[in-house]
Amino acid sequence: MSAGAPVSDSAVPQITRGHRLQFEPAQDCHVLLYPEGMITLNDSAAEILQRCDGQRSVQAICNDLSAAFDGADVTADVHAFLKLAASHGWIVFDQT
């Protein structure tokens, strides 16, 4: 995916090798750990990244989050976050 390209609904995101998502009790939030440091995540980012398992498509992630949050339209926010996460190297996409 190039920097300006939109995120495809059929793309399957996965957290990049060397990164690990976990809940950090000392911070009382989810963090993304990597060899050089740690990224503190807000609740929305954590909800999205928890679903980036290399199995679910972007559309499936949007559907799951929408169902979890009373039918809220989360598509634009999910796409924007995934594009940001990919630009930082936190996730990669498999195109299907």
What distance separates the 2 farthest-apart alpha carbons in the chain?
39
Strands (E) across 1-96 are located at 12-15, 20-24, 29-34, 37-40, 91-94
Q: Which CATH architecture group holds 12-89?
A: Orthogonal Bundle (1.10)
Indicate the pTM of the whole model: 0.91
Q: What pLDDT tens digit does each residue of the chain (96 aa) get?
A: 555 678 999 999 999 999 999 999 999 999 999 998 999 999 999 999 999 999 999 999 999 999 999 999 999 999 999 999 999 999 999 865
**Which residues are paired to 8 by β-bridges?**
none
